[in-house]
Amino acid sequence: MDVQQLQSTAQALVAEGKGILAADESTGTIKKRLDSIGVESTEETRRAYRELLFTTEGAEEFISGVILYDETIRQSASDGTPFPEVLASKGIIPGIKVDTGAKPLALTDGETITEGLDGLRGRLEEYRGLGARFAKWRATYSIAADKPSEYCVWTNAHALARYAALCQEAGLVPIVEPEVLQDGTHTIAESRKATGRVLQAVYTELHDQRLDFRGTLLKPNMVLSGYDASDRASADEVAEVTLECFYKHVPAAVPGIVFLSGGQSDEDATAHLNAMNARGPHPWQLSFSYGRALQAPALKAWGGKEENVEAAQRAYYHRAKMNGAARTGMYAPEMEKEAVPA
């Protein structure tokens, strides 16, 4: 394990003004995305859509890394260049999703455990050979009267730490993603409590399993009111409560926190990140690792048509630029009007 290399990669992923594109949708999830624009999900349409994103001129100004899926890391651009090489040539670090999904946790009422540890050491070695320099593993937790249970919190924390240790052994920076789902009618206070419990368990396990925190990144949820709550917290309250939670539970040695967007709108995800950075500086870089919140406008503009590729790339570039601004606390809603018209 090259500790210095892990640390420098982690720091590069949260470089000033930059964040991560999550393009690691499973075959099932990308099918839903393509269905929404009336495009059949085939290996070629998935490849063409990812190429559109990865070859967007100038995106590297705001995108430091891209999380790929198993299929995608093996695909190539239309000129035959493997996608990891396409990204690396632009100074963008290729990464890989390595979990095999959240499955029912035995003897619970609807809670989940993320699987994928079996054979992971060998898969990480292969992915590193294909060009990956970091990895991601997602665990999910629900908020309800009796959830998340201690059982769910600690079994997922243990699995996240086992994954992370194997990554560092393989020379890959682990992105640790404990996502407390924000679906439901819960208050922001209930979200704060659940998120704090989850983070406390995760960092206890990471410490006990000998992780070097300086060569890791955290990809958590923001602390929000439930998406169906009658009284939603403002961006300022989200920033205050989220920061209070993370100051209490995330070690300062962690180079960066790369928030997931969850079910937030594109602009809400940007505004919330901006509000947190406007309160900086913080011990860690506060960045983004967005999937749908970076891609949705591009997907809609593309519509599966070759003649729309440039318009789609402009839409993706704009969202990347807006989130780059949020990294420094300089984003303002008026900037949304700067999008180049199709």
219 is catalytic: yes
The answer to whether residues 316 and 256 touch, using CB atoms and an 8 Å cutoff, is: no
Q: What's the token pair of residue 290?
A: 């967005």
DSSP-derived letter for residue 173 is E
CA–CA distance from 70 to each of 50, 83, 146, 250, 303 (Å)? 13, 12, 35, 30, 24
**CA triple 252-13-141, angle to 5 deg:** 65
Helical segments of the chain, H only: 3-13, 27-35, 43-54, 70-73, 83-89, 120-129, 150-170, 188-208, 235-249, 266-277, 292-302, 309-326
Calpha distance 173→134 (Å, rounded): 4
Q: Which of the residues 177, 179, 190, 205 is marked catalytic?
A: 177
Q: Which of the residues 18, 97, 147, 219 is marked catalytic?
A: 219
Q: What's the token pair of residue 2?
A: 């090259």
| Numbers of helices and strands, H then E, in the chain | 12, 10
3-state percent breakdown (helix, strand, coil) of the chain, nearest 5: 50, 15, 35
Calpha distance 311→313 (Å, rounded): 5
177 is catalytic: yes
**Paired sense of beta strands 112-114 and 134-141, if any:** unpaired
Backbone CA torsion sign across 283, 284, 287, 291? negative
The answer to whether residues 301 and 262 touch, using CB atoms and an 8 Å cutoff, is: no
> Tokens 């990891």 identify what position?
84
CA–CA distance from 261 to each of 21, 191, 287, 317 (Å)? 11, 15, 11, 17
User: 77 CB contacts (<8 Å, ≥6 apart)?
Assistant: 51, 54, 55, 83, 86
Residues known to be catalytic? 177, 219
